[in-house]
Every structure is written in structure tokens, then in C-alpha cells.
Amino acid sequence: MAISEKSNQGLMKAIKRMHTLVESDDLERVRASQENISALLKHRELNYEPFQVGEIPSEWVSVKRSHMRKFVIFYCHGGGYNTGSFHYARSITNKLSSTTSMDVLSFDYRLAPEHPYPSATEDALAVWDYLMHLGYGARDVIVAGDSAGGNLALSLVLKLKEQKRILPRGLILFSPWTDLTGSGKSYETKVDVDPILNREYLDNAIAAYASGQDLKNPLISPLFGNFTGFPPTYIQVGSNELLLSDSLLLKKIWKNTMSQYVLKSTRECGMFSRCHLLKLLMMLWIRLRNLSSISVVSTIGQELSPVRYRRFGKSVCANKFCG
């Protein structure tokens, strides 16, 4: 459902005020503020199980009621590769777990500038291997992430593809940062309306994470990757975002290489959408199993083409959506 312009402006102002609670030029202060806010993000109906993968702090988030255990969500938090944590990501992982009844694994990859590229990708791969060693198959896992975490989710799957390994069942990306070269139009046209990001922040994040690197390296800027054979992917992005073009350009590339993707652009900031996150999570894209054709939704939430679902029986489990 589209929201009114007045409501949209109010939401943007509210998000901006919320963001100023953790906004600072002092990186350590930002990280500490995020952790303080994280203490408020625990939900009484969810279980939180911390653990380590080697030296990588990680966490399982799960519902306390009986729930699905066959499929899991592998979540990569955002934060420009220099802030963020699985604690701070609970604002999303809580909803992922409670709405889908799936267990969610999130982790604290090493952050820049202390640990620049490829540290985050190496950590994501290590946690992926841990999940495989637990007995999950790649087709049991949905990889998700927001902002820089969306970048990391794509980079992980590109790395798995490079290693000729089985890819996950699907991807869910919230406002993914796919192009560190900043080639899209929204980097100029959305400067004044994005409630969270600005070019200075992104430039500093790039300098910390990928200084001296080729920014067109697909593991740094997934936009330049080869997506042939990629799993079904859902992208949600807000039309007010600086990163809007990162999703639109990805869609343009995928249109020629993939048949299974959804791009939903809302008039709200994608990562903080009030209703679309829950709509997305409602059955988590029909568990990524029953989708046979895709809808693309415009920036005002109007459906441009119909969604059709086909329910697969046991005899069709060789189908790529069935695992």
C-alpha cells in the first residue's frame, strides 16, 4: 500500500532523528552507541543463543514456540563494513525469526579499518562452512543482509560460485550496497532526501574497507559480478535512498541473466519500511519454494505484473526451488 506524501515525510524525519542517536565522527563512539541501543532489542518471545565460530562471535535467534528447523536464515548485518553487530541487527533478525519461524544465524565479521577487505568475506565463508558442518545443506539456507550486509551476502554467494560449490536456496537483500564505485544516478539525485546516508559517510567507509583495492572487483562491488546460475533473489529498497541505483542497476543486469528475482521499491527507506518487511517475511517469499513467476513493484507500490504461484509436490523436488 502506498503511503501519503505527508506520512512519508514524517517517517523520513523520524528515521533521521533516530539515526542521530548513534551518528558521530568518532567510530568507537558509534559502535558503543549501537551496542547500548542493542540492549533494548531483545524480545521476550525469542531465544538468543550466543556462540563462537573460531574467533567470530555469532548468535542464533529463534522463536520459543514449535517452529521450522529444516531451513535457516544466514544474516549479514549492515554498517558500512566499519560498524554494526549481530546485536544491533536484532531489529531485523527478530522479525525474520518471529515472522518465518525459522532460526536465524547472524555473526560479527571483522570490521574496517582494523580489518579491511577481504576480512569480512573470509569470516562470512567461515560461518557458512560452520553451518554446513552442522549438517545443513546449502539448499536449506537463505542468505540475507542489509546495506553493507547485502553487499556481503552477494559477495559470499559469488565466492561460493567461484569455488563451484552449491549455492543457497535464495537471497533476501534490504537496500544492498552493490556498487562502491558510486556510478548510479541516485548518488547525486537522492543526496538531499536520504534520511541516513550521505556521500561523505560512504567515501569514508570505502577508504576504510577497500583502500587501494580495485573497486570493480565483484567481491567488493557485486554489481560487477557474474550472476549466471544465481539463486532466486528478493531486493527491497526505498525510493529516497542514496543506494537506490545499486538495486536498480543490479535489476538491469539480472534481467538478462536471471529469471527469478523480485525488486520492491517503496517510498520509505527500505531497511526501515513499516509494512513491506512484514509483507516480505509473511511466508518468506512463500518459503522460496512455490514461486514460479515474479512481480516487479514500482516506487509507489503499484504492482506492475501479476504474481503467480505454483505449488510443487514431492515429485517435483528436483526443481531448483524445491531443493
The catalytic residue positions are 147, 241
To which residue does cell 558521530 refer? Answer: 24
Omega prior to 118 cis, within 30 of 0: yes
In order of 11, 202, 256, the CA distances from 144 in angstroms are 25, 21, 23
Distance CA 224, CA 227 (A): 9
- The alpha helices in the chain, defined as continuous H runs, are 5-20, 27-38, 90-100, 119-133, 148-162, 186-189, 199-210, 244-257, 276-281, 283-287
Give me the torsion for CA of 118, 119, 121, 123, rounded to 10°.
Answer: 160
Q: Quick check: 159 and 90 in contact, CB under 8 A? A: no
To which residue does cell 520459543 refer? Answer: 64
Distance CA 147, CA 80 (A): 7
**Among 208, 262, 199, which residue's Cα sits nearest to residue 234?**
262
Distance CA 308, CA 21 (A): 43
Q: Quick check: 59 and 107 in contact, CB under 8 A? A: yes
